[in-house]
């Protein structure tokens, strides 16, 4: 099957988007991105998990390729870290249904009988898995919860020497004693993968530990003890403390009625003793182990609180950092939006002002158009047939304007004459003495014409400006909407041309 040889994100992108092959994953398109995020979060928090695609066989015999996370979950006992091998499968309807989790013991380990939430086949049914709900439940939180539950009730202990798997009769008897426990699955994928975990789990988990057996009860000599697992002894003492020193609440089954050996207590007894002797030996031992049970319980609580505090601090720090980065990004976006909003408001205001100016211009031009149409209607009938006399085509608004018009026309005529004389002299058609004589005469006449024009302009300006006391303009001032107003002064200067056009050409 497919084994990722690239980062988890690339592996998930490859297998989740693959379509049209026999090994297509059965997940819906809506669940693909949720599955990807859940697996990436779980692998980030538990790097020992490896993502794979494996064939999963259901209880009805159907086989389907599913995504799985294979590896170990850490647990702490008395300050020592141990790794529990697990395999985590995502069923077809995930995340609407809970994942399937197995504890995969190595060949030298067995699952603890009558475990609180791990059955004989290794299926994990913790409270978090039983109460799985979408979208609140995630793989990362589930793995953390199961790891903490394993610290309180370890699911594995070492296999005693000479241990033989139970037969169907013993399994039936055990199931009759535990009606709420699920029966073992004969074809569990977890049992098929036990051999795969053996070497890795032995290298990472020094869980099989032996100790010197204490002397037997009633002054007997040393009894033949099986190698004791630290989990079995701890859990036996923990159960004795939880039962309040009463052994009847959790009796040890005899070999004839139990399919699995019970976890050995701190002072283990030999396998094959009768139930009566076991009870007699365990009664004083449990009374002596009460202080140890309290110490172990305190150690459990301390280790669980320390691990949970560390994980919560890491999660809070990561969440705070991510939230801070997101807030900074949102603040930057807010500042950009505010700046762009101000620019848009300024642009809208400018467009509004321009629109108002254009509307005012349209109204002004419409008024001028009406005035021109009225003037044309009044004056077109006055034009006689044939050529139009230029002197009668322009009508001054008042006597001052008429006088200014005459001065301006005479001034411009003299200018044209001077220009023509200049050209004639340049071309050699006019002698110099004649040119000077004519220029002297024309310039003298132009001087008086311009002097008169300046006086007329001063008089026009005086009548156009109201007095300081707010009196009306003079009746001699030209009306604003009637006639043609002439400005006096140098005609060439008024038109933006030098007085001597030849000088301008030479320059």
pLDDT digits (tens, 9 = 90+) for 465-498: 654 444 444 444 444 444 444 444 444 444 433 3
Kindly report, residue by residue over 344-371, the tens digit of the pLDDT. 999 999 999 999 999 999 999 999 999 9
CB contact at 8 A, 78 and 106? no
Distance CA 365, CA 204 (A): 94
Cβ neighbours for 208, distance < 8 A, ≥ 6 positions apart: 108, 109, 158, 227, 229
The gap from C-alpha 365 to its chain's centroid, in whole angstroms, comes to 56
**What's the whole-number mean pLDDT along residues 262-272?**
37
Percent of the chain whose predicted confidence (pLDDT) is above 70:
63
What pLDDT, on the 0 to 100 scale, is given for residue 341?
94
Closest to 189 in 3D by CA, of 283, 59, 96, 1: 59
What pLDDT, on the 0 to 100 scale, is given for residue 354?
96
CB contact at 8 A, 83 and 205? yes
What pLDDT, on the 0 to 100 scale, is given for residue 420?
95
Please indicate whether residue 41 or residue 231 has the higher confidence score (pLDDT): 41
Give this prediction's pTM. Answer: 0.37
- The two tokens of residue 371 are 């005035």
Nearest-10 Cα torsion for 398, 404, 406, 407 = 160
Residue where the block lists tokens 């009374």: 287
CB contact at 8 A, 241 and 297? yes
**What's the whole-number mean pLDDT along residues 206-223?**
36
**What's the whole-number mean pLDDT along residues 86-101?**
91
Please indicate whether residue 342 or residue 396 has the higher confidence score (pLDDT): 342
Please tell me the chain's helix, strand, coil percentages from 3-state DSSP, rounded to the nearest 5: 55, 10, 35
Q: Is the pLDDT of residue 183 over 70?
A: no
**How much is the mean pLDDT over the chain?**
72
DSSP string of 378-425, one letter each residue: HHGGGSPSSPPPHHHHS-BSSHHHHHHHHHHHHHHHHHHHHHHHHHHH
């Amino acid at each position: 099957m497919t084994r990722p040889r690239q980062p988890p994100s690339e592996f998930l992108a490859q297998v989740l988007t693959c379509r049209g092959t026999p090994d297509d994953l059965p997940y819906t398109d809506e669940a693909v991105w949720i599955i990807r995020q859940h697996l990436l979060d779980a692998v980030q928090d538990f790097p020992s998990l490896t993502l794979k695609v494996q064939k999963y066989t259901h209880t009805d015999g159907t086989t389907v390729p599913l995504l799985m996370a294979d590896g170990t979950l850490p647990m702490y006992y008395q300050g020592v870290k141990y790794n529990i091998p697990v395999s985590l499968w995502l069923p077809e309807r995930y995340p609407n249904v809970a994942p399937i989790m197995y504890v995969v013991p190595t060949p030298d380990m067995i699952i603890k009988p009558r475990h609180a939430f791990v059955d004989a086949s290794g299926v994990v049914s913790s409270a978090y898995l039983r109460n799985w709900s979408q979208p609140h439940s995630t793989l990362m939180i589930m793995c953390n919860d199961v790891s903490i539950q394993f610290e309180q009730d370890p699911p594995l202990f070492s296999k005693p020497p000479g241990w033989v798997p139970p037969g169907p009769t013993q399994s039936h008897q055990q199931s009759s004693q535990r009606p709420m426990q699920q029966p073992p699955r004969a074809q569990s994928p977890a049992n098929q993968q036990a051999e795969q975990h053996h070497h890795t789990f032995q290298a990472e988990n020094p869980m099989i530990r032996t100790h010197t057996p204490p002397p037997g009860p009633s002054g007997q000599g040393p009894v033949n003890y099986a190698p004791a697992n630290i989990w079995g002894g701890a859990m036996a003492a923990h159960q004795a403390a939880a039962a309040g020193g009463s052994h009847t609440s959790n009796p040890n089954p005899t070999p004839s009625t139990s399919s699995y050996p019970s976890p050995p207590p701190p002072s283990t007894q030999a396998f094959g003793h009768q139930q009566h002797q076991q009870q007699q030996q365990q009664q004083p031992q449990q009374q002596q182990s009460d202080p140890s049970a309290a110490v172990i319980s305190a150690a459990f609580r301390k280790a669980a609180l320390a691990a949970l505090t560390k994980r919560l601090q890491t999660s809070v720090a990561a969440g705070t950092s991510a939230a801070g980065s997101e807030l900074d990004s949102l603040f930057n976006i807010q500042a950009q939006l505010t700046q762009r909003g101000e620019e848009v408001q300024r642009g809208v205001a400018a467009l509004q002002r321009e629109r108002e100016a254009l509307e005012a211009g349209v109204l002004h031009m419409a008024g001028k158009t009406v005035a021109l149409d009225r003037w044309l209607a009044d004056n077109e009938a006055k034009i006689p047939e044939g050529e139009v006399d230029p002197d009668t085509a322009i009508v001054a608004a008042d006597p001052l304007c008429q006088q200014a018009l005459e001065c301006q026309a005479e001034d411009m005529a003299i200018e044209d004459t001077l220009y023509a004389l200049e050209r004639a002299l340049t071309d050699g058609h006019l002698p110099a003495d004649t040119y000077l004589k004519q220029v002297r005469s024309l310039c003298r006449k132009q001087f008086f014409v311009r002097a008169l024009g300046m006086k007329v302009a001063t008089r026009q300006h005086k009548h156009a400006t109201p007095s300081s006391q707010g009196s009306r303009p003079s009746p001699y001032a030209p009306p604003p909407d009637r006639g043609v107003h002439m400005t006096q002064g140098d005609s060439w200067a008024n038109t933006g041309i030098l007085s001597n056009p030849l000088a301008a050409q030479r320059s």
